[in-house]
Amino acid sequence: MRPRTPAVAYDTDTGVLLLDTPHTSYSAYVGREDHIPIHTYWGPPITAEDATYLATATSEHLASEWPCFRSASNGHEEYPLDGGLQFGRSALTMEFPGAIRSVEWRLSRHEITAGLHHRDLALWFEVRHHDLTVTMHYRVYDDSDVIDRWVVVRNGSATDAVDVHRLDSAAWVTPEQERHRMSHLTGRWAAETQLRQIDLTDSHLVLESRRGITSHHANPWFAMDDGTATEEFGRVFSATLHWSGSWRMLAQREMDEPAQVLFGWGHEGFGPLRLEPGEMLKTPVSSGLFTTDGFGGTSHTWHEYALRHVLPGAEEIRPVLFNSWEATGFDVDEASQRALARQAADLGCELFVLDDGWFGRRTGDRVGLGDWWVNSDRFPDGLQPLIADVHALGMGFGLWIEPEMVNPDSDLYRAHPEWTYHFAGREPNLMRHQLVLNLARPDVVDWVFGELDALLSANDIQFVKWDMNRPFTDTGWPEQPDRQGRLWFDHVTGVYAVIDALRRKHPGVAFEACSGGGGRVDFGMMARSDQFWVSDNTDAVDRRHIQHGFGQLYPARTMSCWVTDVPTFINRRRVPLTYRFHVAMAGVLGIGGDLTSWADEETELARRLIGQYKEIRHIVQHGRLHRLGAPSRSASAVQYVTADRRESVVLAYQEAQQYDNQPRPIRLRGLDPDGTYRMDGDPTLSGAALMGHGITPRLTGDYASTLIHLELVP
């Protein structure tokens, strides 16, 4: 199919909205009576005439339904409003003066604008009984089938506040089909992004985070198919949310109706958020896509969108880093870090990251958070001597911080106990012995920025690992009860504001987003980070499952993976060093082991594999990912292919050998069928043979793995 020029259109006569992306169309119409937009189509390209016909057909169909105890439009709305005949959950729930909840609105105008690589459509709705405007926004891109949606609410009243109970970014309607199979990501700490599939029945399904962070427990993403899609083929609808705090995804479906998936910030019952006279609120973006290319095609579209439109500096090659956490824990000092740095440089690491333990009186997790001054017992002359050494070794220098937190045992808490979330007269929960700072407070945001700005100004730092090690609890703001409902929103925008300002002022500093591993992995954080710390679990076997889920939505270029020591602290498993490397080489490679205890053969092997990674990392970090089977005990692989199909790398794994079974051929994907590929010492084969028959990796025994580099013969 030839890609088309993307377009957005709204026909004022018919009320029909039509969005065209390079390979898909999306359509809806605004109802004549109630002005509720009704979804009609999302799929392969259609014409404007088709869209008009579908609007007429859908409205006639809905009008013909027997209105007995039901509302025909429920489940079809582009954005369901609380009020009227809305019996499902709504995307917008507001409370107006007089405890009135119903929203009635009128479309007042539409607006089409164009950016360099995108087109936008905004529909303006005026709420009838209050001076309040709601705008629904759509964006399509020149080079992506992803559609962005968001909503802005403006309280134009000079006198009256309104309470926002729910303000989702979008409702995504997927058509009635045989089955509504939803793939989603679940998990917990050290077991993030586990891929699951569930069939929606005639009910609700809620995935959400109530924790103030994106969470380890659910990631804001789904992919919906009719039960027949595979990695390579099939119709898939998918959506996500660009947001790093609490969120809710609610899928609802009535018998024989389409599935409607509401996506928005804030968990159920978070607020309400009071919108004062004159205030406005812009929701985060929810992005959606449709493809006929199965789950693999879904991931390709997400990855390419992420690299083109979300991730800053996506074209960079991420360096191989060393991180001190698993090597030295809290026991960091200048001598131990210098020793590690020397060995890291000798292996070929390019960035040395000093993790927790360098600041305040931090000798363990009970003390020091909030005191972002350098611990002079451990670093008598500050960090600069270590930084200078690290630089002299040819590496960049990185530092761990956890700026949203405070230990009660800290100078900061002693000075400002009121800066934490708490309820007056109640004892707050001390998870990991720490409290969350109230970043909904502008003075706290300013303070955090000031501390970090000073740190980055005083030290020659190239990388910051921004951590966040506990969920919100006790979310009170005693001095500002009226603003308490806002904190779930304002904390996140406060974090965004600090990182954005730091990035502007210190453009040479890269950021790694971390929250006890992968607790804050999302497109909102990606827009201001360079990579994610995916999980505290560095066991290579578990990690393959975590990476498999992560890669459904997020590109390898953002997936930071370390090789650490065995047995791992998480499950005492021992996996060979080569296997550990091959798993970590599927993303942005890092090293996290105690190098001072590595044997010479291990160091030698690591040096060789790091060297090999540097030769192929442009393919992994910027190529297209093909999942050749899900992680399993028998052989499976991940493959990356450059955009020009000239190079590819296959990482194949066998966790356990059964009997004398040898791996079956693994069919490759995405190559040039007419080209011939050279494979490290193996015979050359055509792309057609490699994709039609496959390669048989040599994998014998348990935890066997291999890396195969393919190059097109010119």
Q: Give the residue numbers marked as catalytic.
A: 467, 536
Q: Does 516 bind ligand GLA (CB under 6 A)?
A: yes
Question: What is the Cα–Cα distance from 126 to 104, expressed in whole angstroms?
Answer: 8
Cβ nearer to ligand GLA, comparing 88 with 357: 357
Give me the least distance between CB of 519 and ligand GLA, in Å please: 8
Over the window 93 to 132, marking each residue x when it contacts ligand GLA by CB under 6 A and - when it does not, the resulting string is: ----------------------------------------
Cβ nearer to ligand GLA, comparing 18 with 452: 452
Of 19-27, 381-389, 512-520, 655-663, the segment contacting ligand GLA by CB under 6 A is: 512-520
Residue 330 near residue 362, CB atoms below 8 Å: yes
Residue 478: CA count within 13 A, CB half-sphere? 11
Of 22-30, 171-179, 511-519, 691-699, the segment contacting ligand GLA by CB under 6 A is: 511-519
Edge-to-edge strand ranges of the sheet holding 636-641? 624-628, 636-641, 647-654, 704-712, 676-679, 682-686
Give me the least distance between CB of 568 and ligand GLA, in Å please: 13
Cβ nearer to ligand GLA, comparing 209 with 469: 469
> What residue type is assigned to position 304 of the chain?
E
Q: DSSP letters of 591-628?
A: E-S-GGG--HHHHHHHHHHHHHHHHHHHHHHHSEEEEE
Give me the least distance between CB of 695 and ligand GLA, in Å please: 36
Pick the binder of ligand GLA from 192, 355, 647, 655 (CB under 6 A): 355
Give me the least distance between CB of 400 and ligand GLA, in Å please: 5
Cβ nearer to ligand GLA, comparing 354 with 609: 354
Q: Does 356 bind ligand GLA (CB under 6 A)?
A: yes
Other CB atoms within 10 Å distance of the CB of residue 446: 14
Pick the binder of ligand GLA from 514, 584, 586, 704 (CB under 6 A): 514
Strand 247-252 to strand 204-209: parallel, antiparallel, or no bridges (unpaired)?
A: antiparallel
Q: What is the dihedral of CA 581, 587, 593, 599, to 10 degrees?
A: 20
Give me the least distance between CB of 356 and ligand GLA, in Å please: 4
The footprint of ligand GLA on residues 324-343 (CB under 6 A) is 325
Strand 181-188 to strand 118-127: parallel, antiparallel, or no bridges (unpaired)?
A: unpaired
Cβ nearer to ligand GLA, comparing 514 with 563: 514
Over the window 24 to 43, marking each residue x when it contacts ligand GLA by CB under 6 A and - when it does not, the resulting string is: --------------------
Q: Does 404 bind ligand GLA (CB under 6 A)?
A: no
* Residue 97 preceded by cis peptide, ω within 30: no
Over the window 530 to 569, marking each residue x when it contacts ligand GLA by CB under 6 A and - when it does not, the resulting string is: ---x--x---------------------------------
Residue 294 near residue 533, CB atoms below 8 Å: no
Which secondary structure element, helix H or strand E, spans residue 341, and what is its range?
Answer: helix 334-347
Residue 346 near residue 359, CB atoms below 8 Å: no
Residue 491: CA count within 13 A, CB half-sphere? 28
- Tokens standing for 201? 């029945």
In terms of Cβ atoms closer than 10 Å to its own Cβ (0-12, 13-18, 19+), residue 333 is middle
Nearest residue to 455 via CA among 535, 382, 534, 362: 382
- Beta-carbon contacts of 608 under 8 Å, excluding residues fewer than 6 positions away, are none
Which secondary structure element, helix H or strand E, spans residue 52, and what is its range?
Answer: helix 48-64
Question: What is the Cα–Cα distance from 186 to 194, expressed in whole angstroms?
Answer: 5
CA distances to 179, 203, 616 from 253, in Å: 11, 6, 46
Residue nearest to ligand GLA (CB): 356
Cβ nearer to ligand GLA, comparing 325 with 447: 325
How many residues bind to ligand GLA according to rule CB under 6 A? 11
Q: Does 517 bind ligand GLA (CB under 6 A)?
A: yes
Pick the binder of ligand GLA from 469, 473, 529, 531 (CB under 6 A): 469
Q: Does 400 bind ligand GLA (CB under 6 A)?
A: yes
End-to-end CA distance of the chain: 28
Give me the least distance between CB of 216 and ligand GLA, in Å please: 10
Cβ nearer to ligand GLA, comparing 225 with 536: 536
Cβ nearer to ligand GLA, comparing 25 with 560: 560
Cβ nearer to ligand GLA, comparing 14 with 194: 194
Q: Does 172 bind ligand GLA (CB under 6 A)?
A: no
Pick the binder of ligand GLA from 20, 77, 350, 467 (CB under 6 A): 467
Q: Does 522 bind ligand GLA (CB under 6 A)?
A: no
Of 83-91, 446-454, 513-521, 541-549, the segment contacting ligand GLA by CB under 6 A is: 513-521
Question: What is the Cα–Cα distance from 674 to 667, expressed in whole angstroms?
Answer: 16
Binding site for ligand GLA (CB under 6 A): 325, 355-356, 400, 467, 469, 514, 516-517, 533, 536
